[in-house]
Amino acid sequence: MTVKTTRFDAAEYLDTPEVQAAFVADAFESGDEAYIKKALATVARARGMTAVAQEADLARATLYKSLSETGDPKLSTLMNILTALGMEISVRTKAPKAA
């Protein structure tokens, strides 16, 4: 018997702005650059890459490239993407590591 599988796409489950923001917040809290880019790219796909690119005033290809594994978006690009997604960054002091 052959088992059929389907490709999992997290973007299909990020269906509210609150869930999307929680996902991106978790990525930023991790401090993992790859996770941050992946989370932003997944939320952008959930919202529609073309719509997010237009709202961020970026070419669609630039959005894809910035959020790719090898991408390194400028701060201005990152801020435009977050604004287009209706999100913002807040900063707080980091808790000291346990000894």
Nearest to 41 by CA among 30, 27, 57: 27
Question: How is residue 79 written in tokens?
Answer: 């801020």
Q: Looking up tokens 């690119």, which residue turns up?
A: 53
Residue 34 has a pLDDT of 95
The pLDDT profile of the chain, 99 residues, written as one tens digit per residue, is: 899 998 989 899 999 999 999 999 999 999 999 999 999 999 999 999 999 999 999 999 999 999 999 999 999 999 999 999 999 999 888 888 887
CA–CA dist 85, 11 (Å, integer)? 14
Which pLDDT score, from 0 to 100, does residue 95 have? 82
pLDDT at 61: 96
Nearest to 38 by CA among 3, 77, 62, 66: 66
Q: Is residue 53 within 8 Å of 63, Cβ to Cβ?
A: yes
Q: Which amino acid is residue 33, in one-letter code?
A: E
